[in-house]
Amino acid sequence: MKKIETIFKEKKNLLSIYFTCGYPKLEDTTKVISELEKSGVDFIEVGLPYSDPLADGPTIQDSSQKALENGINLDIIFDQLMTIKETNKTPLVLMGYLNQMLKYGEEKFCQKVVDCGIDTVILPDLPMVEFENYYKPLFEKYGITNVFLITPHTSDERIRKIDSYSKAFIYVVASASITGAKGDISNQQIAYFERIKGMNLKSNLIVGFGISDKETFDTACNYANGAIIGSAFIKNLGENGVDKINDFIKPILS
């Protein structure tokens, strides 16, 4: 069984943290993963910096730009991830964009992902029809699981189809906008969460976009298996550095 699937069987209220590879400094990728593991997060979303990140808000866009300016690229990222393959025990999920995989070479990309000990990817801009016709068999060939995103505008029919294809979890986007800390979770978002929960899907659910602290994390966990914090963590990382990661995580898990 895949690492990411195992943790859903072992625990509730899972906390995942998104970070951008090569940020704040080029060599910080493995340091961030190591500190997140020590802090007790359940799985880590490894962000691949991209020049045109369609789903990302200003904070993550800025971190991607700085990482690219630091000289980060996919070859460096894969080399970095290889160095911690044997020591890191926290499941990693790779988050990037379809064009990154296309430019790198699909087969080469998949092989590198597997070589790094990763078996789950998130490609927000991967069209369903492309997944069904081409990427599903490609990912199956390499033992890779793809995570789909749903939003408040996603139809029940599409959600059911995504549910049928999902093995790790469904990424429940908390709002129809880009990533970023947005304060309290609104009644409208609660109604959306209740709608999804009421569908009794077979898949695990993880809420993301706008989750920023213990309050929003706990609220999201009332309707899902856990939540992902991204922009708020990136902001803290930029302001306080790698050494203060546990200070950010500890209050959320308390």
Domain ranges within the chain, ordered by starting residue: 13-253
Q: Which of these is catalytic: 45, 163, 213, 218? A: 45
Is 45 designated active site? yes
Q: Which of these is catalytic: 28, 56, 140, 247? A: 56
Q: Into which CATH architecture does domain 13-253 fall? A: Alpha-Beta Barrel (3.20)
Q: What is the pLDDT of residues 159-209, one digit of tens each?
A: 999 999 999 999 999 876 544 445 568 889 999 999 999 999 999 999 999
Fill in the amino acid letter for 84. Answer: I
Could you tell me the pTM of the whole model?
A: 0.93
Assess contact for 72 and 49: CB atoms under 8 A: yes
- Cα 174 to Cα 84, 153, 203: the distances in Å are 32, 11, 17
Backbone dihedral angles phi then psi of residue 228, each to the nearest 5 degrees: -110, 135
| Residue 170 DSSP SS3 | strand
Is 239 designated active site? no
In order along its 254 residues, the chain shows pLDDT tens digits of: 578 889 999 999 999 999 999 999 999 999 999 999 999 999 999 999 988 756 567 889 999 999 999 999 999 999 999 999 999 999 999 999 999 999 999 999 999 999 999 999 999 999 999 999 999 999 999 999 999 999 999 999 999 999 999 999 999 998 765 444 455 688 899 999 999 999 999 999 999 998 999 999 999 999 999 999 999 999 999 999 999 999 999 999 99
- Mean pLDDT score across all residues of the chain: 93
